[in-house]
Amino acid sequence: MFYTIAETREALKAGKTTSVQLVKDSIETFEKDKSAAIPLNAFIEMYEDSLEKAELADKEIAQARSDGAQALDKLFAEKPLLGIPFANKDNISSKGHRLTCASKILEGYVAPYNATVINRLEGAGAIPLGRCNQDEFAMGSSTEYSCYGPTRNPINREFVSGGSSGGSAAAVSANQALFGLGTETGGSVRLPASYCGIYGLKPTYGVLSRWGVVAYGSSLDQVGVLGHTPADIAEPLSLMCGVDMYDDTSADLPDASQLKNLTALSDEEFKALKIAIPKQFLKTEGADPDVVKTFEETRAWFQTKGASVEEVDLPILDASIAAYYVIALSEAASNLSRFDGIRYGRRVDNQKGYDELYVDTRSEGFGPEVKRRIIIGNYVLSEQFSGDTYKKGMTVRARIQSEVAAVFEKYDLILCPTCPTAAFKLGSKVDDPLEMYLSDLYTTFVNLARIPSISVPAGKTSKDGMPIGMQFAGPMFSETKILRVAQNWEEAHQGCGVPVK
């Protein structure tokens, strides 16, 4: 497997490799890993037709090559990802393939259509390799809440991969796929990117269509992209973004064309950057000393290169975790009510009546974390709270949006860690929901404010050598700018060189 999309494309054009070989390499790695003593468990399964699609891609490339260099260049201009395989999360529909959200309640379900993001990638020639593991219904921060078992971290398999898009992140980090799709509600792309030592982008809400993506918290959900480099995120983003007639919340990205050939900021542009650091994120209680040290080093790097870095006061951020969980869990309770044994999902037919059917189906189908979140969400929405708690959460969210937007009137970026800690050991937090929820301390404000943010690999822990991520957040529709800044970071740090064991 080649390291970047650009390298792979040039190899395909030159005949140094084939799409079939790329797909076979991934399948062989997947099959070998399944029988390993400690399996990575990044992919749940490979799609049966991935090799067939790869063969068709190779035929197109061979025909264009025989027609000459111009024909080959034209083909890849029309289909820039032709023959390139990618990892798909198990809550994004791929027509004719199983989709279960890593839950027993959707066992055997086959997607009847493609999600818009899948359609657009396939239109550009990319090949969906298979579905990746995740926390059940995207509810978790470690990919331990899955009916398929946990996904492990490819840097050290005793540790978690992060969640909920841990399978996609682990697949990319372990070189099982060139790039991967994940989804975000409160940090589920950036968190596993940080834990696995890769780049992960959460775009502006609406930039990527949610059509065909199983809903968790509809006002927060967003498809995201994981890759080895900023360019490996920018190119797929440029091909997937834009208004979709099937999603009324979708929106165009004004400068999407600049993403196709991503360049770093010039020295003059970089020196003009104004960066804000919220004082609320400078509190070190509960933060790993290595994360604090890496954050200070990141701040110093920006200053050394001439950017202006200032601390700002945003007291409303202290309420972001609480507001996020009130809103997300309320919307989750509503969205998951459809899985009742009648309309969608598996059915426990006990011949007793509809109430018993509903209770038994959901009791057997949902895992403990999903049940916990449904119960909390329904409690928030119950009659005595629906006019108070949820409304208060939405009010806080509106304040977060307006106050974060006000920061961007003066500053270009917000800089902060991705997570208070690096990846933790499997099982160490799975029975402590509150501790697990605090993993999202630095990420949820981004989803509430509907702005884009990228997690970049910034260092590693001194004891275990596990990756540490920092995030660059920008105003709405500033994906190009934050990716260009990330490219400056990549050119200076080369992904921090965290080795995969």
* Catalytic residue, candidates 26, 50, 103, 164: 164
Count other C-beta atoms under 10 Å from residue 325's C-beta.
Answer: 21
Quick check: 30 and 167 in contact, CB under 8 A? Answer: no
Structure tokens, 213: 């993506």
Active site residue 164: yes
d(CA 81, CA 102): 28
β partners of residue 184: 222
d(CA 430, CA 427): 5
Element (H, E) at 169: helix 166-173
* Catalytic residue, candidates 188, 238, 320, 478: 188
Provide the 3-class DSSP secondary structure of residue 237.
helix
β partners of residue 43: 132
* Catalytic residue, candidates 13, 89, 202, 481: 89
Please provide the distance, in angstroms rounded to a whole number, between the alpha carbons at the two ends of the chain: 16
Q: Name the residue type at position 2.
A: F
Provide the 3-class DSSP secondary structure of residue 40.
coil
Question: What is residue 104's DSSP assignment?
Answer: G
Provide the 3-class DSSP secondary structure of residue 351.
coil
d(CA 65, CA 119): 26
Q: Is the dihedral of CA 474, 479, 484, 488 positive or negative?
A: positive
Q: What is the DSSP string of 146-205?
A: -TT-PPBPSS-TTBB--SSSHHHHHHHHTTS-SEEEEEESSSTTHHHHHHHTSEEEEPPT
- Which letter, b or e, does each residue of 230-240 get, where b requires 16 or more Cβ atoms within 10 Å of its Cβ? bbbbbbbbbbb
- Which among 423, 497, 501 has a CA at the least distance from the CA of 466? 423
Active site residue 188: yes
Q: Which residues are catalytic?
A: 89, 164, 188
